[in-house]
Amino acid sequence: MAKLDDRSLAEARAEFERAVARWREAAGELPEAATDTGLPVAGVYTPLDLAGGHAELPGEYPYTRGIHPSMYRGRLWTMRLYAGWGGPEDTNARFRYLLEQGQTGLSVALDLPTQMGLDSDHPLAAGEVGKVGVAIDSLSDLERVFEGIPLDRVSTSFTINATAPILLAMYQVVGERQGVAPAELRGTVQNDVLKEFLARKTYIYPPGPSLRLAAEVIEYSCRNLPKLNPISVCGYHMRQAGCDAVQEIAFTLANASAYVRAVVERGLDVDEFAPRFSFNVSTMRDFFEEIAKHRAARRLWARIMRERFGARDPRSWTLRLFSGGDGTSLTGVEPLNNIARTTLQTLAIVLSGAQAVHTMSYDEALALPSEEAALVALRTQQIVAYESGAARTADPLGGSYYVEALTDELERRAGALLAEVEEEGVLRGIENGSLELAIAEAAYREEQAIESGERVVVGVNRFRDEGAGVQDVEVLTVPDSVRARQLEQLAAVRTSRDAARVETVLGAVREAAASERSTMPAILEAVRVCATVGEIAGALGDVFGYHQASTVV
C-alpha cells in the first residue's frame, strides 16, 4: 500500500469522520468515548493526532520510552510482592517462600501501629497488631524478619513513611549484624510523608517537621547508604484515595519537587542525591491510559529536573518507577476475576517500562494475601516476563498513535495542574485541605460513575451472576496469638536492655530534633540500644508535636 502523505492522510481522516457521521445518523445517538480520567477518545488515531515527532530512543532524554536503552533485554524488572503479616516469624516464612519461588526482591508491609509510631502494647494498637503487615517494635523484630535472608544478595523495599528514619536505622543495623556494610545495602524506604496527609493518613507530626525528617533520611542515605533509594515518591496511595491519572502525575511530581527543594536547602547539590530518587505509581483498569500516564510522568520529571533544578547528571533526570496494580481496582465479588485484572495491570506496567513490579493477589479485596494467592501473583509476573514476549524489545507500544496522543494529552493536563499546585505550594495545599478536597471530589465522581453503570465493573454492576454461590476462596486470618506473642517478645526486650542508657539516648533524640542537626545519628544510636519504635517516635513527638487534620468542607 502506498504511504500516505499528510494531505492524503488528512483527506482519508475526513472521509473516515464523514463515515462515522453517517453511521451515527443511522444508529441514533451514541455516547462519547473517554478514558477513565475523562480524556476524550477518538474513533481512530493517525499521525495527525501527535503533537510533534517523538524521535528519542529508549534511554534518551526525556525518557518517554524508558530510562535504559536495552530495557528488559538487558535486565528484567525486579519482581516484588508487597508482603508482611503477623509477627516477624510469619513474615520471614512468607519471604523465604517467595524467594524460593523466584521472587527477585522483597517488599515489606508494616502493620498500622508500626506505621503510626506505636508499640504493640499501646492501647490504640490492640486490634491492629500484625493485621495489615508485620509488627515491628524493636531491632530484635527486624532481625527475625530477615533471619536466614542475606541482605547482601537481596534488595528490600519498606512501605514506611512517618517512621521511615527509625526503620531505616534498624535495617542498617540488621545489615551490620549480618556483616553487610552500610555502603552495600540495597533497598528503598518509601519515606513520602506528604502523600500521607492527602491519602493514607499514617502521619504523626505536622507537615513541616515531617518534611524535615524525610529530607534528613535522603541526606543521610546519600552520605552513608549510596546504594539505597532514600525515597519512593508515591502517587499510588493518592490514586487509591480517588484521584484521577492527571492528578496522580501532578500531585506526585509536586511532592517530589518539594523533597528536592528541602534537601537542596540542607546544602546538598541536586546531583548528589537525585539519582537515588524512585517513584511508586499505581496502575488501574484503563490499560492504555495507565501506560501513557507512566510515559508522561517520566517526560515531565526529566524536564523538571533539568530545567527547573538545573540537574546535570542524566541519572537525576530519570524517573525510576515501581508500580503495582491498584488494590482498589479489585473486587470482593467474584474475586477470581481479579486474576484477569492483575494480569492486564502487570502487562500494562511492563509495557510502560517500570523498573520494579508488584502484582496484586486476587484475594486482596477480602484480606491479606494467602500463600496460594501470592504464588499466583508471582507466577503472573513470571508468565508476562518469560512467555508473553513483552520483554523482548524496548517500548513495544512506542509509535502507537493512540498511546502517543494520550501521552501528550496527559503531559499537557498534568503539567498545567502541577503549575497550579505549585503556585499555592504543596505544604499550604495540605494545611488548608485544598489538595485533599480535590482528591475527594475525584473519588466521588468515580463512585458516581460506577453506581450509575457508566463505568462498568464486571461482576459488580454488570454481568453479575446473582444465582451463583460465593466463590470458595481461602482467606488468610491473623490469629489473636500474634499479638500475645508480640507483647511477650516486647516485654523481654525491655527487661534485657540497659534502661538508663535508653533514656539517655532518647534524650539525645529530643536534643537533635530541637536543634538544626540531623536526627538520624541519634535515632541510629537509639536503635542500637533497643529503644522501641514507639519510644523513638514519642521522643520526636515531644519536640515536633502531633498533626491535627484539616477540616475539608
In tens, the pLDDT along 226-261 reads 999 999 999 999 999 999 999 999 999 999 999 999
Work out how many domains the chain is built from and give that number.
Answer: 1
Q: Average pLDDT of the chain? A: 92
Domain assignment present for 548: no
Q: Can you name the residues that pair with 365 across neighbouring β-strands?
A: none
Q: Which of 163, 195, 189 is nearest to 427 (CA)?
A: 195
Each residue of 411-464: pLDDT tens digit? Answer: 999 999 999 999 999 999 998 999 999 999 999 999 999 999 999 999 999 998
The percent of residues above 90 in pLDDT, for the chain, comes to 84
Note the pLDDT of residue 362: 95
The answer to whether residue 56 sits within a structural domain is no
Q: How confident is the model at residue 552 (pLDDT cuts 50, 70, 90)?
A: low
Q: Whole-prediction pTM value?
A: 0.93
pLDDT, mean of residues 124-132: 95
- The DSSP-derived string for 105-136 is SEEE-B-HHHHTT--TTSGGGTTTTTTSSB--
8 A C-beta contact, residue 523 and residue 166: yes
Q: What is the arrangement of strands in the sheet containing 78-79, beginning at the earlier edge strand?
A: 78-79, 356-358, 321-325, 277-283, 231-234
For residue 79, being part of any structural domain is answered with yes
- What is the per-residue pLDDT for 1? 37
Cell numbers given for 315? 541519572
- Convert the pLDDT of each residue in 109-122 to its tens digit: 999 999 999 999 99
Residue 53 located in a structural domain: no
Asked whether residue 389 is domain-assigned, the answer is yes
**Where does residue 465 rank: exposed (0-12), middle (13-18), buried (19+ CB within 10 A)?**
exposed
Domain for residue 104, yes or no? yes
Rounded Cα gap, residues 410 and 32, in angstroms: 19
The phi, psi pair for 153, rounded to 5°, reads -125, 5
Contact 547, 180 (CB under 8 A): no
Helix (H) or strand (E) holding 5: none
Give, in order, the Cα–Cα distances in Å from 396 to each of 302, 401, 472: 21, 13, 38
As a whole number of angstroms, the distance between CA 73 and CA 452 comes to 44
* pLDDT at residue number 2: 45
Q: DSSP assignment of 503-532, as one string?
A: HHHHHHHHHHHHSSS-SHHHHHHHHHTT--
Q: Is the pLDDT of residue 497 over 80?
A: yes
Closest CA to 231 of 256, 197, 265: 256
Q: Cβ distance 337 to 458 under 8 Å?
A: yes
Full residue range of the structural domain in which residue 297 is found: 71-451
Whether 530 is covered by a domain: the verdict is no
User: In DSSP terms, which residues pair with 40 in a beta bridge?
Assistant: 34
Query: What number is the average pLDDT over the span 129-140?
Result: 96
CA dihedral (270, 320, 157, 292) in degrees, to 10, reads 140
| pLDDT tens-digit map of 286-333 | 999 999 999 999 999 999 999 999 999 999 999 999 998 888 899 999
DSSP string, 141-163: HHHHHTTT--TTS--EEE---TT
Q: Is the peptide bond before 62 cis (omega within 30 degrees of 0)?
A: yes
Model confidence over 65-78: pLDDT tens digits? 999 999 999 999 99
Pairing mode of beta strands 82-83, 78-79: unpaired
242's enclosing H/E stretch is none
pLDDT at residue number 27: 54
What are the strands, taking DSSP E only, across 153-196?
Answer: 156-158, 187-189
Residue 492 lies in a domain: no
Q: Alpha carbon of 502 to those of 326, 507, 509: distances in Å? A: 41, 9, 11
Phi and psi, residue 39, nearest 5° = -70, 130
Q: Rounded to whole angstroms, how far apart are CA atoms 89 and 481?
A: 13
Question: What is d(CA 293, CA 250) in angstroms, rounded to the nearest whole number?
Answer: 11
Q: What is the band of 465 on the pLDDT scale with cuts at 50, 70, 90?
A: confident
* pLDDT tens, position by position, 142-176: 999 999 999 999 999 999 999 999 999 999 999 99
Contact assessment for residue 299 and residue 407, using Cβ atoms and an 8 Å cutoff: yes
Flag the least confident range among 168-182, 186-200, 323-337. 323-337
Q: Angle 431-434-439 (CA atoms, 0-180°, nearest 5)? A: 120
- Look up residue 182 and give its amino acid: P
Res 51 pLDDT > 50: yes
CATH number at residue 282: 3.20.20.240
Checking if the pLDDT of 28 tops 70, the result is: no
